[in-house]
A and B are shown apart, each in its own frame.
Chain A
Amino acid sequence: MDALYRDYILEHYKNPRNFGELEPHDLEFHDHNPLCGDELGVHIVVDEGRIADLRFHGQGCAISQAAASISSEQLIGMPIDAVEELGADWVIEQLGIDISPTRRKCALLSLKVMRGATTGDASWPD
């Protein structure tokens, strides 16, 4: 099996979970990776301080799309306040593959837009 493009990475890339739009939604954010132009947005529905539902949308490489898809399953149900505690390590652990420095921003774009939507801080996660 390929070390980077593992079966589950490709599966999430080809059939991303929680992708599309949510209307109405409570929170939203949209951003891009300036290195490659890839774009990702998120719509979030909040209920009693928790992420009741979310949808990512946009286009990107296998790494960025799989990172959004895999983490979306963990994010739904999470308290909104918990998102700002999530760092780069959390996403990379979710992905379960080694990420080279050149692909790091691909992996982190979905967390960046999640933090933008929930905290207003759109800086790249550490």
Chain B
Amino acid sequence: MGAVATHALVDVRADFPVLQREFDGKPVVFLDSAATSQKPVQVIDAMSAYYRTSNSNVHRGVYALAREATDLFEGARERVAAFAGTDPATTIFTGNASGAINLVAYSWGRTNLGPGDVVVVTHMEHHSNIVPWQLVCAERGARLHYLSVSDIGELSLDELDEVLAGGRVKLVAVAHVSNVLGTLNPVEEIAARARAAGAVTLVDGAQAMPQMPVDVDRLGADFYAWTAHKALGPTGIGVLHGRRELLDAMPPFIAGGHMISRVDLESSTWNELPWKFEAGTSPIAEAVGLGAAVDYLQAVGMQRVRAHERDLTAYTLERLAEVEDMRIFGPLDAERRGGVVSFAIEGIHAHDIAEICDREAVCIRAGHHCAQPLMRTLGVAATARASFHVYNSREDVDALVSALGRARKVFEL
């Protein structure tokens, strides 16, 4: 890893091979890390080394190679748990953040939700923290309640209190950081209020864990879901952290190999945590890659990652405001948001903005960002979105603003 400047992490760029690419002679400006981050060579090498030297199935092998693979896999889990401030036994590897949320919706939801019960979600959730609850609520006769989002893109704790006072709320599912608005939600306070009302909390941390220090145990949420590929790690592996008493009481979600203790003809008993929830051969190389990703992030320092994201976000909010006919969504204070900024330009559709940015090799996302209920709240069909990670710099934001100027010119605004 290269040396890191205190105020900008531009020196880490050399670690990310994709960022060396050019399109039509223009260096790529990657501003879509909220969709997926780029991967440092340390992660790519760790996965490659695993396949080249240690590949074997984990857990039951008696031979040395299998022990080595198991140590790498479980060692990664220990480092991931430490990174998140929690226990390896309650750190479950899933396919992605959606897989983690579905595990809770089906395993916990089917057992604990009944007719008339309420699941609270918010209007700023990603589809992956809405649709699993729709399905399990329909199955169990429970009801979904959506917390509203204010004009500046924030939730109201008073509104949460009112809903909790109804006495039927069993679970509150909320994003830590909104993937559209960037809003940093007060999840510690939400979890405390939910618990006081006898409800369980699930936090979708897909956009938070990659870019700020998160201490899952201190946060107090019962479940915390996130994914590796937005945190400099590989695709194909997500993480669910859960409170032990709840996980112990929950039935398995996916059934199959390794999640059992003993299988008889008519019934079976379950393996210990976390393996009870990890049926089938695990994403072993992906776990090794995620382990390398959290090592990388810890070497940079999550406080510095957060400071860097905050600096870039503040700079982006300032620069975007210079563009005419600009509408910026979400809180205007960088302290209250993560490193993702959605915007719209009056007179140019988000897709057309992204298309013209692409001609300058500036990669931004355009569309509904898997948050159609939020798009309706904002009164738009789509927004354009720029998002950051450690490898982005103020120059990247300048390239975006310059491309937006070009878009206005093409559209004769």
- A63-118 contacts to B, CB under 8 A, are 63, 65, 103, 106
Q: Could you tell me which residues of chain A, from 35 to 80, have a CB within 8 Å of some CB in chain B?
A: 35-39, 59-63, 65
Alpha-carbon distance A118/B372, docked complex (angstroms): 28
A8 contacts B by Cβ under 8 Å: no
Q: Which residues of B contact A2 (CB under 8 A)?
A: 410
With A4-B355, A5-B352 known as contacts, the answer to whether A39 contacts B381 (CB < 8 A) is: yes
Which of B348, B366, B412 interacts with A36 by CB under 8 Å? B366
| A36→B355 CA distance, assembly (Å) | 13
Are B412 and A10 in contact (CB-based, < 8 A)?
A: yes
Given contacts A36-B367, A103-B355, contact A62 B381 (CB under 8 A): no
Q: In the docked arrangement, what's the CA distance between A60 and B366, Å?
A: 12
Residues of chain B with a CB closer than 8 A to A10's CB: 411-412
Query: Are A60 and B349 in contact, CB atoms less than 8 angstroms apart?
Result: yes
Do A61 and B372 contact each other (CB < 8 Å), given the known contacts A10-B412, A37-B367, A38-B381? no
Alpha-carbon gap, A16 to B211, bound state (A) = 43
**How far does the Cβ of A113 sit from chain B's closest Cβ, in whole Å?**
15
Say which size band chain A's interface belongs to. Answer: 10 to 19
Q: Does B382 lie at the interface of the complex (its beta carbon under 8 Å from any beta carbon of A)?
A: yes
Which partner residue on chain B sits nearest A32 by CB separation? B381
B59 on the A face (CB < 8 A): no
Which residues on B sit within 8 Å (CB–CB) of A36? 350-351, 366-368, 381-382
Contacts of A65 in B (CB 8 A): 349
Cα-based distance from A14 to B410 in the complex (angstroms): 13
Q: Which of A37, A62, A103 contacts B372 (CB 8 A)?
A: A37
Write out the residue numbers on chain A whose beta carbons fall within 8 Å of the beta carbon of B368.
36-37
Q: Which residues of B are found within 8 Å of A106, using beta-carbon distances?
A: 351
User: Does B375 reach chain A (CB closer than 8 Å)?
Assistant: yes
- The smallest beta-carbon distance between B74 and chain A, in angstroms, is 40
Instruction: Find A59's partner among B347, B367, B381, B412 (CB 8 Å cutoff).
Output: B381
Query: Scoring B residues 364 to 392 as 1 if CB is less than 8 Å from chain A, else 0, what string do you get?
Result: 00111000100100000110000000000
Rounded to whole Å, the gap between the CB of B357 and the closest CB of chain A is: 13
Task: With both chains docked as a complex, state the minimum distance between the C-beta of A7 and any C-beta of chain B, in angstroms.
Answer: 9
A61 to chain B, nearest CB (A): 4
Check if B351 sits within 8 Å of A103, measured CB to CB.
yes
Query: Which chain A residue lies CB-closest to B366?
Result: A36
B412/A61 in contact, CB under 8 A: no
Which residues of A sit under 8 angstroms from B350, Cβ to Cβ?
Answer: 36, 61
A38 proximity list for chain B (CB < 8 A): 349, 351, 381-382
Q: Which residues of A contact B349 (CB under 8 A)?
A: 38, 59-62, 65
State whether A37 and B381 are in contact (beta carbons under 8 Å apart), knowing that A2-B410, A5-B410, A10-B412 are contacts in the complex: yes
Highest count of chain A CB atoms <10 Å: which of B349, B356, B367: B349
**What's the minimum C-beta distance from B401 to chain A, rounded to whole angstroms?**
20
A61 adjacent to B351 (CB under 8 Å): yes
For B347, list chain A residues within 8 Å (CB). 14
> Which B residues are CB-close (under 8 A) to A5?
352, 356, 410-411
> 0/1 per residue, B389-413, Cβ < 8 Å to A?
0000000000000000000001110
Within 8 A of A (CB), among B96-123: none
Establish whether residues A37 and B351, one from each chain, have CB atoms under 8 Å apart when the complex forms.
no
- Bound-state CA distance A38–B352 (Å) is 13
Closest residue of chain A to B411, judged by CB? Answer: A10
Contacts of A14 in B (CB 8 A): 347
Q: Are A37 and B375 in contact (CB under 8 A)?
A: yes
Q: A105 to B351, alpha carbons, bound, how many Å?
A: 12
Bound CA span A4–B349, Å: 14
B126 to chain A, nearest CB (A): 14
Kindly list chain B residues whose C-beta atoms are within 8 Å of the C-beta of A59.
349, 381
Pick from A4, A60, A63, A103: contact of B381, CB under 8 Å: A60
Bound form: Cα–Cα A36–B367 in Å: 4
Report A104 CB to chain B, min CB distance, Å: 12
B382: chain A residues within 8 A (beta carbon) = 36-38
Chain A residue with minimal CB distance to B356? A5
Complex interface bits, A1-40 against B, C-beta within 8 A gives 1, otherwise 0? 0101100001000100000000000000000000111110
Shortest distance between the CB of A96 and any CB in chain B (Å): 17
Determine how close the nearest CB of chain B comes to the CB of A41; give it in whole angstroms.
13
In chain B, what residue has the closest Cβ to A37?
B368
Q: What are 22 contact pairs spanning A and B, CB under 8 A?
A: A5-B352, A5-B410, A5-B411, A10-B411, A10-B412, A14-B347, A36-B350, A36-B366, A37-B381, A37-B382, A38-B351, A38-B381, A38-B382, A39-B381, A59-B349, A60-B381, A61-B349, A61-B350, A62-B411, A65-B349, A103-B355, A106-B351
Question: Besides the contacts A38-B382, A65-B349, what 4 more A-B pairs have beta carbons closer than 8 Å?
Answer: A36-B368, A37-B382, A62-B348, A103-B351
Q: What 6 pairs across the A-B complex have the smallest Cβ distances?
A: A37-B368, A61-B349, A61-B351, A36-B367, A37-B381, A62-B352
